[in-house]
Structure 1
Amino acid sequence: MLIGFVCVVLFRDALGWLRMPSHSAPRLAADVLVRVAAAFGAYFFIVQVIEKRHAEELAWRKALPHTAAGVAAGVVLIGSVIGALWLGGAYVVTGTGSDVQWLRPLLVYGVGTAIIEEVIFRGVLFRLIDEAWGVWPALGISALFFGGVHIGNQNATLWTSFAIAVEAGVLLGVVYHVTRSLWACIGLHMVWNFLAGTVFGSPVSGMAPEASWLVAQFPGPVWLTGGAFGIEGSVLTVLLSLLLSGALLAAGAKYRLKGNTR
């Protein structure tokens, strides 16, 4: 529980800079780079100095292929959610944005948020609980904390916090459990935020995008569309994320039964 509390505090501190405006692209890039470097630096200190081991979960040789795999999974998941909503008449494109700023959301809400949250919640919280008590307590506790830190977001409710805990907290924990790679988690998380907000025009965790490529409306019941919180508050997203989590767990179990090692 102490580890979880520390993670929540660090997460809240990180949110402070994520919401701060930046006046130029170079400054924004430098700002994100410094904080990402600090997150990686702190993690490598914990692993190499305190735990005295090599951080295989962040091995640089895995960065490109595992991040790409996570991105691919995120594209399929978010694309499936939006596609299903569109087929059901609950996602209607009304135009395209002419003033989309691609760099800021990609760096801040994509790269920056994904790296910091994954280092904290999967790299520290999930991993240490998994090593101490096993995967199921790790999934439950880390997902609970991940959903809990979003309760203070704009338009958040108990349901949306539960939804994020299940769809993102559980799914990203499963991704780490199966791959033992933070890069895969970072890739999925990054493209989730970027696609949902900047491309498809949905609020992300209750925060409306500054601008989006597709300008869209989400007619339909809140339980289906997620309402003002965004598609992360949709029952559909929860179900599809659970389906993907189950498929990954089954694939991982089958892989291990064949005698393969990571």
Structure 2
Amino acid sequence: MLVQIIICAYGIFLAGKVERLSLQDYGIKWQKNDLPKLLLGLVIGIAAFLIVCAPLYLTGAYSLASGSYAIEDIALDFILFVAVGFTEEFLCRGFLLHRFLRFGPFKALALSAAIFSLLHLANPGVTVLSLVNIFLAGIFIGSTMFATNSIYTAVGVHITWNWVQGAIMGIPVSGSTGDGYFVTNIVSNNTVVTGGAFGAEGSIACTILLTIFSVLLLAYAKKNNKLQYFQPAI
């Protein structure tokens, strides 16, 4: 986990050397109030995913059964998703989004989310709707950063979104299957509703709810002048 995070940060550091920028110019900085924001992100990630998949269980499209994961398996998966959360957020909401700030914060958010979506193009079970939803996930995660002025909120959201989805609920994480504390079985044959092999991230419920979450967060960020912190450094 640590090696992966360090390699990612060092790569961005080298890019900054070429462009005569620091990691801070890419939003990668640690301030004394970032720990509460990281913890807030962890809570948001859990709540957001449970809200997204709740309609699938309540309508009977999904059913829940006992899985095979023990506590140590859940803990090991958490470490895995910490590495994924930090590296993907440092790259997409750190380096890329801040690199695109020359076009304004909203365009930068959209462009970085589009690249984030394309990074999942080869994932198992990918569909057009799932790619749209990964784009929306990028918008949502970036919106949490805008709303709190901390990339670590976005990191926290990314970590627990994946962790609850895979290690707890036993749902494929962006098409990647595995065990979990529970096992989620697909009952409905309607892949637009269930997301099919890609998992809940490929469902129409995910589309609707991520859109709502993002609109609310961006409205909050704009109303409270949070976007002033996201000015182009390049």
Q: Find out whether 1:193 has 2:162 as its counterpart.
A: yes
Task: Provide the secondary structure at the position in 2 that maps to 1:94.
Answer: strand
The CA distance in 2 between the partners of 1:52 and 1:102, in whole Å, is: 36
Question: 2:84 is aligned with what amino acid?
Answer: T
| 77, 80, 86: which one aligns with 1:105 | 77
The CA distance in 1 between the partners of 2:23 and 2:91, in whole Å, is: 18
Partner of 1:75: 46
- Quick one: percent identity of the two aligned structures? 27
TM-score normalized with structure 2 length: 0.87
Q: Find out whether 1:229 has 2:198 as its counterpart.
A: yes
Q: Which runs of 5 or more residues in structure 1 are unaligned?
A: 1-31
Q: Which runs of 5 or more residues in structure 2 are unaligned?
A: none
Partner of 1:250: 219
| 153, 157, 180: which one aligns with 1:212 | 180
Question: 1:65 is aligned with what amino acid?
Answer: P
Check the 8 A contact 1:58/1:183 in 2, yes or no.
Answer: no
Question: 2:146 is aligned with what amino acid?
Answer: H
Partner of 2:210: 241
Task: Provide the secondary structure at the position in 2 that maps to 1:127.
Answer: helix
The CA distance in 2 between the partners of 1:140 and 1:95, in whole Å, is: 39
Q: Report matched runs for 1:112-191 at 5 Å.
A: 112-130=83-101, 132-166=102-136, 168-191=137-160
Q: Find out whether 1:37 has 2:6 as its counterpart.
A: yes
Task: Measure how far apart 1:60 and its partner are.
Answer: 4.1
Q: Find out whether 1:90 has 2:58 as its counterpart.
A: no
Partner of 1:8: none
Report the count of equivalent residues: 225
C-alpha RMSD of matched pairs (Å): 2.3
Deviations 1:43-89 (A, max 9, x none): 34555882157466421423321111111111111111222221111
Q: Which one has more relative contact order, counting CA pairs under 8 Å at least 6 apart?
A: 2
The CA distance in 2 between the partners of 1:235 and 1:191, in whole Å, is: 21
Q: Find out whether 1:62 has 2:33 as its counterpart.
A: yes
